[in-house]
A and B are shown apart, each in its own frame.
Chain A
Amino acid sequence: MPDRAPSPPAPADSDLIAKAAAGDERAIASLYDRFGGVLYAVAYRIVGQRADAEEVVIEAFAQVWREAARFEPSRGSVAGWLAMIARSRALDMVRARTRRERITSSAAADQPGDSPGMSAWRPDAVRALDDAERRSRIREALDTLSPPQRQAIELAYFEGLSQSEIAERLQEPLGTIKTRVRLGMQKLRECLRTFYLEPGT
């Protein structure tokens, strides 16, 4: 007998979301067990401190709980959806902190575009991969970027900066930043293509 039989049929991520939508709190516990660590890591990367990152994780799961019924499996992966929620909540926290620090007049329109538009996530875009394998492949992909490309992309994703803000921060021409973002994202996309199941045309 091998020490473990072929892994027991764990519920798919999307089944857990469906259970959460039906009001089953245990589904959130399972989702936390699967994704809590990585969502905390994203949150920590963005907000930079432990207590706030934990608050972000709580907010993110509360949002998942509220909105689980609106998740459309046909439009994309659970992992991608969770990552998007955690990032948004984390950036909210940073922005709220900044707002508190220097009170600025706020208009809904002047944040960098984060609008999801009508189509959110593509089917099966993030294929379920073993966590360690996933991380190592993503790291390999990131390693193909030049350091400036990587920096520009990370400033946009993890700090929520617009390209103009990145240009200002780095004292580089805007055109240069735009090129780095575009080429960097293209490169990542090529490297990560193996993660995707090509959508049926």
Chain B
Amino acid sequence: MTGPGQDSVHDLAAAYALGALSAEEVQRFEAFLATSPAAQREVAELRDVAALLALGQSEATPSADLRDRVLARIGESKVTPLSAAQRPSRGRVPPLYWGALAASVLLSLGLTLSLGKTRTELTGLKGALAAAGAALAETRESLASRESTLDKLFAPSVRLYQLTASGDPEPGIQLFWDEKRNTAIIHGYQIKPVPSGKEYQLWFIKDGKPVPSVTFTPESTGHVRVEEIQVPRDGALSAAAVTVEPAGGSPQPTSPILMVGELKKS
């Protein structure tokens, strides 16, 4: 029996998989979904049905040069993705990548880099690297005061994870997890402001359940940095996620996940 406002799980699962629920319905459904592996399986299957809608489209012919444009765009961002395989002689992250880290850290420290198209640069990081080199020279002194942060980020036991938003490539959070000290630093960029009375909250997913962590609000630049975050111990961490919660945080998530990233301990 289903009446208005009391839809069955099946009704909601189909619409959820299609992305056709309102924000409020999504919230309700996800709260339920978190508790039901059966519903999670159903949603996964329905999502694939939805994907087939896309894959069933007749192929169309784009401009002949589209392939080259795709590859040119890829070529702009030579820095390989997070867990790219090359191991450098020292440390775990390719040297180029340390440069990228430096660039993003400099950004988060509020040094003035002329980034141009922030988004392209952040994803590509190539331009940021060049800018970071210049900025490093100019600002060596001011960096001294930031050294402790940099030291923490560059410690050999630190690994970087990326939290991304669904449906929107722009905002993101880098999570620097120091496995030895079991602490983390997060650096968010392009983070939208939250309504008053609300804050973002970080969650660690441990043994499949959300464990509440810090709350934060972005600066007007969209950046945010939080240090000395305790990472939960004694359990399998699979992911970190971000939701919007009432100021001060919640013991359990009360809104849909906005950003999520997988965590894999080495």
Contact = CB atoms under 8 A, between A and B. Distances in A.
B23 interface: yes
A65 B57 contact: no
A114 interface: yes
A57 B62 contact: yes
Contact of B66 (A40, A107, A174, A189): A40
A195 B260 CA distance: 29
Nearest to A157: B53
Interface string A73-104: 00011011001101111011000000000000
B62 A119 contact: no
B138 interface: no
Nearest to B29: A113
B77 interface: yes
A113 B56 contact: no
Interface string B136-171: 000000000000000000000000001010111100
Interface stretch (B38-46, B175-183, B223-231): B38-46
Contacts of B266: none
Contacts of B41: 122, 199
Interface string A45-83: 100001001100111011101111110100011011001
Given A22-B84, A69-B82, A182-B11, A83 B54 contact: yes
B244 interface: yes
B177 to A, nearest CB: 15
A160 B52 CA distance: 16
A65 B124 CA distance: 11
Contacts of B211: none
A139 B57 CA distance: 9
Contacts of A121: 44, 47-48
Interface stretch (B99-107, B109-117, B126-134, B250-258): B250-258
Interface in A170-192: 174-175, 178, 181-182, 184-186, 188-189, 192
B220 interface: no
A122 B44 contact: yes
A88 B167 CA distance: 5
A109 B61 CA distance: 36
Contact of B45 (A41, A108, A117, A196): A196
Given A58-B73, A62-B74, A135-B56, A117 B49 contact: no
Contact of A156 (B15, B30, B51, B73): B15
B82 A70 contact: yes
B35 interface: no
Interface in B194-244: 195, 205, 238-239, 241, 244
The 4 A-B pairs with the shortest beta carbon distances in the complex, nearest first, are A138-B56, A113-B26, A37-B59, A23-B80
Interface of B: 4, 7, 10-11, 14-23, 25-26, 29-30, 33-34, 40-41, 43-63, 66-67, 69-71, 73-75, 77, 80-86, 123, 162, 164, 166-169, 192, 195, 205, 238-239, 241, 244, 255-258, 260-262
23 contacts: A25-B71, A28-B74, A37-B62, A41-B58, A44-B60, A61-B73, A66-B77, A70-B262, A83-B54, A92-B168, A111-B167, A113-B22, A115-B26, A115-B256, A122-B45, A125-B44, A135-B56, A138-B52, A138-B53, A153-B18, A181-B15, A185-B14, A189-B45
